[in-house]
Amino acid sequence: MSTQRRAAVLGSPIAHSLSPVLHRAAYGELGLADWTYDLFDVDEAALPGFIEGLGPEWAGLSLTMPLKRAVIPLLDEVSETAASVEAVNTVVLKDDGRRVGDNTDIPGMVAALRERGIEQVESAAILGAGATASSALAALARICTGEVVAYVRSEARAAEMREWGERLDVEVRTADWADAERALSAPLVIATTPAGATDALSAAVPERPATLFDVLYDPWPTALAARWSMYGGAVVSGLDLLVHQAVLQVEQMTGRTPAPLVAMRKAGEHALAAR
Positions marked active-site: 68
In the sheet that 99-102 helps form, which strands lie side by side, from edge to edge? 35-41, 5-11, 58-63, 90-93, 99-102, 77-78
Outline where DSSP puts E strands in the chain.
5-11, 35-41, 58-63, 77-78, 90-93, 99-102, 124-127, 148-152, 172-176, 188-191, 211-214, 234-236
**Strand pairing report for 90-93 and 148-152:** unpaired
Q: Are 104 and 85 in contact (CB under 8 A)?
A: no
Tell me how far apart the alpha carbons of residues 231 and 127 are, in angstroms, rounded to a whole number: 20
Amino acid identity of residue 132, one-letter, is T
